[in-house]
Amino acid sequence: MVGSIEAKSLQSNGSVHHNGLNLEEKLDEFRRLLGKSDKDPLRIVSVGAGAWGSVFAALLQESYGGFRDKFQIRIWRRAGRAVDRETAEHLFEVINSREDILRRLIRRCAYLKYVEARLGDRTLYADEILKDGFCLNMVDTPLCPLKVVTNLQEAVWDADIVVNGLPSTETREVFEEISKYWKERITVPIIISLSKGIETALEPVPHIITPTKMIHQATGVPIDNVLYLGGPNIAAEIYNKEYANARICGAAKWRKPLAKFLRQPHFIVWDNSDLVTHEVMGGLKNVYAIGAGMVAALTKESATSKSVYFAHCTSEMIFITHLLAEEPEKLAGPLLADTYVTLLKGRNAWYGQMLAKGEINRDMGDSISGKGMIQGVSAVGAFYQLLSQSSLSILPSEEKKLVAPVESCPILKTLYKILITREQSTQAILQALRDETLNDPRDRIEIAQSHAFYRPSLLGQP
């Protein structure tokens, strides 16, 4: 059964074990760290119900939800989002293809509403189906039932841990609202951000603002209590118990115990101190995933063309990481792994493919039905704006004048013209690859490695 906890046994004392790991002991250990009393449950809320945010909540519910006196998790999403007829019909097919899901809905007296929605006699809503375990952005992967709250104040006011499952473009606004409900809080919550996206600010100097910084600025929660969790993962596959790993980044006080608390047999969580850089890299790979999707569609999945694109886009990412990180070589593995999985099956690559095929268009915006927010679009604009600043100018080899870093990133420039200014069609991405004046990708890497590129101010460092 999809979503069941494998390798699980119930011991005589009622404790659930995962391959010898006592979940109740893990829960008790983390509760003690937070100073929770026996009758005060650990309260977690996931803010935002996209694919990853919903899966994250479902994983915790399945692991710890049985300890009702010690653990509570809920998920917040806005009310009022209607499920369109086509999705309702597909959802009905998914339900009827899974005997376990069908039986569960019948037992909960919830099946009839899906029958009526399929016939067009009833409108389903996203928050309504989420209670039954269906994420609107991932209807093919039913989750466990979740406690859904549509009132933001009710969701967050007493939460010990808040999980940010929002797109970066919505993070600041929602957490500014949350901060109003925390004015009289005595304890400081822990916040785990899953968001991969960035903004660029130009004052007082050009720099990147990541979701964890947005949350810190919006709420006043100390940055040591704000962490980032990310990795080379596809949400649906994690829920289906494919082996996966991730890193939780931030201050040692919380990242190490959280890594232990979140770890499962199929989902290994490591910890790292480099919060902002890992967060930025999570946004960077989305930029180039869109272009990869375009190349795949325009060349009918040509392995040669895709490999040429991969060589150029990875050289640009390496070039950019040398500007952003003091020790960029440490990011090579995580960045390439995250890029690889996104190219294989991520929504940003899918978006690039659909644009190139003409099945969607840029006027439809960044939020696509059934997929959610395409974070790579805003990231293209943010990275282009940042790297086009004259104050960051560099002197490439064989050049006699300083140029903005973006001039060494032709793929990024082309994506900007396709997605942001819309002055070029998707075909332009192929021209960027075929341009005879384009340098060997190795040259771009050598330029970055041979210069003192690192600009700590770009990530807000002194």
Active site residues per annotation: 285
DSSP assignment letter at 328 = G
Q: Say if strands 226-230 and 190-193 run parallel, antiparallel, or are unpaired.
A: parallel
- Cα dihedral sign, 319-325-327-329: negative
Residue 268's H or E segment, with its range, is strand 267-272
Task: Give the separation between CA 165 and CA 58, rounded to whole angstroms.
Answer: 13
Q: Taking the C-alpha atoms of 92, 151, 58 and 271 in order, what is their torsion angle to the nearest 10 degrees?
A: 140
Residue 25 backbone class (left: φ over 0; alpha: ψ -120 to 50; beta: rest):
alpha
Task: Give the separation between CA 73 and CA 67, rounded to whole angstroms.
Answer: 11
Closest CA to 327 of 441, 228, 456: 456
- What's the one-letter identity of residue 183? K
Closest CA to 275 of 317, 337, 224: 224
Name the residue with tokens 């466990």.
Answer: 144
The CA angle 41-43-48, to the nearest 5 degrees, is: 160
DSSP assignment letter at 451 = S
- What's the one-letter identity of residue 40? D
The CA angle 459-56-163, to the nearest 5 degrees, is: 50
DSSP assignment letter at 183 = T
CA distances from residue 234 to 237, 244, 262 in whole angstroms, order as listed: 5, 9, 17
